[in-house]
């Protein structure tokens, strides 16, 4: 019997990151070179599951009315950390002048969270690390 290996979609969800973000052109170029799809997510996507957003599925028709942080974030899916792929991707972004304060990987646990839940957790972790709360 063969093991069934599930490969996560190669995607980066972009929260509060857009064409006006410094280094955005470099992000697009580096994503294309690494065969990673970029998907901008916004308030209307807050009720969607992270795994569904990465897979390209549409968000539900209604989003929760929650106050979530505006801190820009990259949510990365489908890149391996054990072979250096993830680190190389992030290092290339940094060298190209693209930086955001919050980055995370989609995990088996958080892919079933809503985008709102993930952003709230990321804000708590960011505050714990930096000692600065979201304004």
Q: What is the pLDDT of residue 131?
A: 75
Would the pTM of this model clear 0.85, i.e. be above it?
Answer: yes
Domain locations along the chain? 11-130
**48 with 59: CB under 8 angstroms?**
yes
pLDDT in tens, 21-77: 999 999 999 999 999 999 999 999 999 999 999 999 998 887 677 788 899 999 999
Tell me what the mean pLDDT of segment 86-114 comes to: 94
* Closest by CA position to 59, among listed 39, 74, 73, 32: 39
Give percent above pLDDT 90 in the chain.
73
pLDDT at 101 over 80: yes
Six-digit token string for 59: 């968000």
Question: What is the distance between the alpha carbons of residues 112 and 89, in angstroms, rounded to a whole number?
Answer: 24
pLDDT in tens, 24-40: 999 999 999 999 999 99
């Amino acid at each position: 019997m063969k093991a069934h290996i599930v490969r996560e979609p190669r995607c980066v969800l972009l929260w509060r990151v857009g064409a006006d973000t410094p280094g955005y052109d470099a992000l697009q170029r580096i994503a294309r070179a690494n065969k990673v799809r970029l998907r901008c997510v916004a308030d209307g996507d807050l009720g969607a599951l992270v795994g569904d957003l990465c897979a390209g599925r549409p968000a539900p028709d209604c989003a929760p009315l929650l106050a979530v942080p505006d801190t820009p974030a990259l949510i990365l899916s489908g890149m391996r950390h054990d072979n250096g792929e993830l680190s190389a991707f992030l290092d290339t972004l940094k060298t190209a002048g693209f930086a955001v304060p919050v980055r995370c990987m989609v995990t088996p646990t958080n892919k079933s969270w809503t985008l709102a839940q993930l952003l709230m957790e990321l804000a708590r972790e960011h505050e714990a690390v930096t000692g600065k709360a979201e304004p």
